[in-house]
Amino acid sequence: MSGREKVLVAMSGGVDSSVALHLLVEHGYDAVGVTMKLWDSRDENGNLVNDSYCCSLEAVNNAKLVCEAAGVPHYTLDFRGDFREKVVNNFTAEYLRGRTPNPCIRCNSDVRWSALLEYADDLGIEWIATGHYARIDRSQPDRPTIQKGLDSHKDQSYVLWRVKQEELSRTLFPLGNLTKPEVRKIAREANLTTADVAESQEICFVPNDNYRTFIENESAAENGLNGSGKFVTPEGKTVAEHRGISHYTVGQRRGLGISGAEPVYVQVIEPDSGDITLAPRRSMFFSGCSLNDLNWHIDETDLDIVNELIVLIRYNHEGVSCKIEWNTDGTAEVKFDEAQFAVAAGQSAVFYDGDRLLGGGIITEGFLNEETTIG
């Protein structure tokens, strides 16, 4: 066997992971491609239930083609059981509790990284790699940290905060210094069969991006729960019946079926009573939030020496300067320097110092701003 460093590359069948593999091979790594089968796009009778490229036979075969052309082995790993249990069931349960989950984050931390490392260990492979747009700073070899991808439009560091630091030490992100157009260009120049595969849809397992129908089908199969209840005003006055809390997310304006002089938004979802408070935009600002389930890539004491602590409260959020206060039970509270629109429980608050990802937590509750005069 060769003395080259080995790397296990997670291949979705898309252009990003294909280029990741291509670059690693070009750089002399001994690569092995794997595609994790997480979800079925067809039911037991072979009928299409989710017209998604992700995890489809076409995607797997494209990954195989890319690997075959690069002269590296490819294997398909069946993780449907784990994904269903740890990601999909959690997704449904969270919505039924009136929260807004981010399944990609959970998939990375609870399924993908552990699975890839397990296979890498058993196959005697040092490294794992994915096609995420993020970088890893290894200037402190025992404390690697994630840096935002160089392409600010594509940066995917946000979905990686729950990955454990010790897992990062064996992770490679070959696309971190590239922009999406550069990746496409590399793919075309290398004649990769996936060069023009379309961007994947929002949530890989939800057909047509319609998560509400998905939750309805899932929860009907479970126990018929839909959390029906009332729309109320901030003063507690009932406005109308709603379709069940899983149909709504904090900050939502469309599809409420409410007409009035002033547009209203979902401000708070109360899973116990089923009440959903609707409020005008000026009342939609939050001064902070509470967090649990925290994960840090730096020592908590190092938080004091960061230049500027910025938190992102959802994917593609521009970020806001903030302060953290710790509770004795390991949870935390965040105070934004400037009130933020629509803070949804279940979403991830991810902390940065410049491009460096410091850590994150799951939002348990947003604190409505006392002086709701903005906007």
In the complex, minimum distance from the CB of residue 22 to another protein, in angstroms, rounded to a whole number = 20
The half-sphere exposure of 126 on its side-chain side, counting CA atoms within 13 A, is 8
Q: Where are the beta strands (DSSP E) in the chain?
A: 6-10, 30-37, 74-78, 127-129, 134-137, 145-148, 171-172, 229-232, 238-242, 264-269, 276-280, 285-296, 309-312, 320-326, 332-341, 348-353, 356-368
Beta bridge partners of 129: 9, 172
Q: State the minimum distance, in angstroms, from the CB of residue 1 to another protein.
A: 8
Q: Which is nearer to another protein, 120 or 357 (CB)?
A: 120
Sites of contact with another protein (CB under 8 A)? 1, 32, 37, 57, 60, 64, 73, 75-78, 119, 122-124
How crowded is the C-beta side of 366, counted as CA atoms within 13 Å?
Answer: 33
d(CA 67, CA 76): 12
Residue 122: strand, helix, or coil: helix
- Tell the smallest beta-carbon distance from residue 123 to another protein (Å): 5
Of 64 and 154, which has the nearer Cβ to another protein? 64
Catalytic residues: 107, 204
Please give the structure tokens belonging to residue 357. 């990802």
What is the arrangement of strands in the sheet containing 6-10, beginning at the earlier edge strand?
A: 74-78, 30-37, 6-10, 127-129, 171-172
| Comparison of 116 and 312: residue with beta carbon closer to another protein | 116
Q: How far is the CB of 35 from another protein (least distance, A)?
A: 9
Between 1 and 198, CB nearer to another protein: 1
Q: How far is the CA of 343 from the CAs of 15, 73, 193, 274, 348, in angstroms?
A: 33, 45, 41, 18, 10
Q: Per-residue DSSP letters for 53-85? A: STTSHHHHHHHHHHHHHHT--EEEEE-HHHHII
Q: Which helix (H) or strand (E) holds 104?
A: helix 103-107
CB of 113 or CB of 352, closer to another protein: 113
Closest distance of CB 47 from another protein, Å: 13
- The residue among 72 and 256 lying less far from another protein, judged by its C-beta, is 72
To the nearest whole angstrom, how small is the minimum distance from the Cβ of residue 85 to another protein?
16
| 35 vs 277, beta carbon nearer another protein | 35
187: its two tokens: 């793919």
Gyration radius of the chain's alpha carbons:
22
31 vs 245, beta carbon nearer another protein: 31
CB of 204 to another protein, least distance (A): 17
For residue 291, the cross-strand partners are 332, 363
Query: What single string gives the DSSP state of each residue in 174-224?
Result: TTTT--HHHHHHHHHHTT-TTTTPPPP-SSTTSGGG-HHHHHHHHHHHHT-
**DSSP character at residue 344:** P
**48 strand-pairing partners:** 42
Residue whose C-alpha is closest to residue 102's, from 371, 232, 293, 259: 293
CB of residue 13 vs another protein: minimum separation in angstroms? Answer: 13
